[in-house]
Amino acid sequence: MKKPEKLKKELGLFDVFAISTGAMFSSGFFLLPGLASMYTGPSVFVAYLVSGLLIMPAMFSIAEISTALPRSGGAYYFLDRSLGPLMGTIGGLGTYLSLMFKTAFAIIGIGAYASIFWEVPVKTIAIMATLVFMGLNLIGAKKTSKMQNFLVIFLLVVVGTFIIDGLFSIFFTQAIDRPALNDNFTPFFTNGAEGILTTAGFVFVSYLGLTQIASVAEEIKNPERNIPLGMLLSLSVTAVVYFLGVFVMVALINPADFASDLAPAATAVKGLFRWLPGNTGMYLVTGAAMAAFASTGNAGLLSSSRYPFAMSRDKLFPNKFSTVNKRGIPTAAVLLTTGIILFFILVLSESGIAKLASTFQLIIFMLINFSVIVFRNSKIESYDPGYKSPLYPGMQIAGIIISVVLIAYMGWTAILFSAAMIVAGYLWYHYYVRKKIHREGAIYHWFALLGKYQYSDLESEFMGILKEKGLRHGDPFDETIIRARVSYINKKMNYEELVEEISETFSIETGVDKNSFVKEFYATSAIEPALVVPKVSILYAKNEKIDYPSLQIVVIKEKGIRKPVSKGAISSEDYIQVFFFLVNPSSEARQQLRMLSRITDIIERDDFIESMMSFEKHRQIKEYLLHNERFISVQLRKGTVQSELIGKQLMEVKFPSDVLVALIERRGSTITPHGNTMLENNDILTIIGEPKSISHLLEKYIGPHSHN
């Protein structure tokens, strides 16, 4: 069977920052400030800061779920797996529309800034740009992360210079052609607190770049660090830039013109960059704006078109939207998305597009905040976020309340349209989706009274994701393998006798009653089917009296031991040749799952049984289980580079500080090394440590120069 393809984890911390920041520095800065000032006047820059603060609960919730379920479906996948296909359908459609609204809004910005140099209708340019982006998407052109990083650096440099020059001009220079500062800021609040909240909701669309991270979570390296840190850095930088940048615009643009200005940054720069020749400053800002809009427009069409594609794969959309052409492009999804974006550009006003985009996203954020509460209360152990939202559940409850309040200020048009879309989503689910799927969300694992609707495969699906994520930094897997007991069984023994014998060994080692281990080893949990591989059995137990993970490996080289096995609704018997018995502290249930997942990943190797049957020594088995970039095996022999270690005590050897000599095999026996262990000729050292140092030792001792 062909294994499913996995997306490569190639995105680092700055890539996360650049994807999020690049998606936010378009319409929010270059197009929206003037329109937003209609609701609150000069205090519009304060509303941007308020909006940035109000989005934080949703940001924390997205970060938590993204580190637990890094899937390219993003918000749709979160809602489907937490609240079920009905909310997944509604949420998927809502997120899809939100992204298209934002994309349409950004593409209109291209027309707005193009009209500065040419007398052309704004929407005509926007339509032409949309068709160009459609063509690029249909031939498969994609922005690489390096291009995105360069673009964001360019934007930050230009916008940063704009802010610094603007603040210097406002506070430290006097210009005859500029009104007094107080004139542009009086009255400061034109509609009081209501105006600030309305504007905060209106500019919420400016922060939607944060949702892009959820869509690429599967491709991020070290997601448990890079996702929350990248999102927080992006939000912090963006909020400060909005606050100061819009302040400069308010100070430099006539209030009477500001509210109708679709290119406020270009207008404000006319009084700045006087230290550059001619209109260089204008060209820089306009170039930055056009690049930002083009990037957001093209990437927006690309990412939003993947929603009908992803939903089609889950049977929520017709099958044709999940088909791809020879280049791997979902043509039908791209064409559908392009058509809807063109419709929005033609029919809706700029202000209407922004309101609808913000309203839909507020609904999605409200549901995502609720999803965190659902996942945590579902008690699904394989829901294992590497980052947990602070102040749970208060943070999520606050996020839900914030969304409800801001939606109330969006006006009846946006609210009624959103309600209509929810009804449309429900009808679509009721008449099209419901008969095609049989899964339910994690919410049914929360409420015991709804237990009969639990979707048992959900836990197996999360277990599969856990396996893909791998071990977490600090998990003692390598140490557990090194300390593991390995037994070869050559006598006749049945399954029950083996469990009794292994349980007795664990009981002596830990002081826990033997029957407790026997009971847990016999028990079948909901995730056990995910751990069944022919000829291999993994049994596990937890106890509060256990302080540290412990593993016993049993190898039967003959026919094996007959054991009942089950997978789904199928029950049978199998002859097991390799048993893993793992026990962990009760407080580390999720750590145990991660370690079980790593063992499962190892036993799925094509040659696992053949390799295990061929090994004669404990060291060989342990090295095979450790085999990855964090492990190396070195044999000391005279006449080689390794001979420099012979005759030295282990404490005298200058290995890198982040590596450890874990095992030494000497004359067929395995010994546990200590600092005063004297190294001898033909010793075989098993060394574990950080990949960089292991690579250095590999080059030094195993490389082509290691032999004389």
Residue 221: pLDDT over 60: yes
Strands 659-666 and 570-576: unpaired
Average pLDDT over the chain reads: 82
Mean per-residue pLDDT, 456-466: 69
- H helix intervals, 217-349: 223-252, 255-258, 264-268, 280-313, 331-347
Residue 241: pLDDT over 90: yes
Angle formed by the axes of helices 75-83 and 85-114, to 10°?
160
Strands 550-556 and 485-489: parallel
Could you tell me if 557 and 575 are in contact, meaning their C-beta atoms sit under 8 angstroms apart? no
Written as six digits, the tokens of 611 are: 């390799």
Q: Any idea how long the chain is? A: 708
Q: What is the pLDDT of residue 551?
A: 95
Give the range among 441-445, 472-476, 658-662, 665-669 with minimum mean pLDDT.
441-445
Q: What is the pLDDT of residue 70?
A: 81
Burial of 427 (0-12, 13-18, 19+ CB in 10 A): exposed
Residue 143: pLDDT over 50: no
Mean per-residue pLDDT, 89-110: 82
Q: What is the pLDDT of residues 27-38, one digit of tens each?
A: 788 888 988 899
- The closest of 102, 63, 51 to 238, measured between CA atoms, is 51
Residue 609 identity (one-letter amino acid): I
Q: What are phi and psi of 618, to 5 degrees?
A: -60, -40
Confidence of residue 3 (pLDDT cuts 50, 70, 90): very low
| Arch. (CATH architecture) of 628-701 | 2-Layer Sandwich (3.30)
Confidence of residue 433 (pLDDT cuts 50, 70, 90): confident
DSSP lists the bridge partners of residue 566 as 571
Query: Top-level CATH class of 13-433?
Result: mainly alpha
Mean per-residue pLDDT, 51-73: 88
Question: Which position has the higher pLDDT, 442 or 453?
Answer: 442
Written as six digits, the tokens of 100 are: 């298209």
Q: What is the pLDDT of residue 447?
A: 60
| 3-class DSSP state of 583 | strand
DSSP lists the bridge partners of residue 543 as 585
Residue 580: pLDDT over 90: yes
Alpha-carbon span 207 to 230, nearest angstrom: 14
Which of 450-454, 552-556, 607-611 has the highest average model confidence (pLDDT)? 552-556
Alpha-carbon span 56 to 622, nearest angstrom: 46
Mean per-residue pLDDT, 515-524: 86
- Cis, peptide link before residue 393, omega less than 30° from 0: yes
Looking at the chain, the domain(s) classified CATH 3.30.70.1450 span: 628-701
Confidence of residue 272 (pLDDT cuts 50, 70, 90): confident
Looking at the chain, the domain(s) classified CATH 3.40.930.10 span: 473-622
Q: What is the pLDDT of residue 513?
A: 93
Q: What is the pLDDT of residues 398-407, one digit of tens each?
A: 999 998 988 8
Q: What is the pLDDT of residue 10?
A: 67
Q: What is the pLDDT of residues 540-568, one digit of tens each?
A: 999 999 989 999 999 998 788 888 766 55
Residue 44: pLDDT over 90: yes
Q: What is the pLDDT of residue 393?
A: 94
| 3-class DSSP state of 25 | coil
Give the range among 56-65, 171-180, 261-270, 378-387 with minimum mean pLDDT.
171-180
Written as six digits, the tokens of 679 are: 């190294």
Q: What is the pLDDT of residues 334-357, one digit of tens each?
A: 899 999 999 988 887 766 666 777
Mean per-residue pLDDT, 621-630: 80
Question: Which position has the higher pLDDT, 171 or 328?
Answer: 171
Could you tell me if 466 and 595 are in contact, meaning their C-beta atoms sit under 8 angstroms apart? no
Helix-, strand-, coil-residue percentages of the chain, each rounded to 5: 60, 10, 30
Confidence of residue 141 (pLDDT cuts 50, 70, 90): very low
Confidence of residue 569 (pLDDT cuts 50, 70, 90): low
Looking at the chain, the domain(s) classified CATH 1.20.1740.10 span: 13-433
Q: Under CATH, which number does the domain 473-622 receive?
A: 3.40.930.10
Give the range among 95-109, 135-149, 289-303, 325-339 with minimum mean pLDDT.
135-149
Q: What is the pLDDT of residues 273-329, one digit of tens each?
A: 888 887 888 888 888 888 788 777 777 787 778 778 878 878 888 888 878 777 667
What does pTM read for this prediction?
A: 0.73
Of the CA atoms within 13 Å of residue 42, those in its CB half-sphere come to: 17
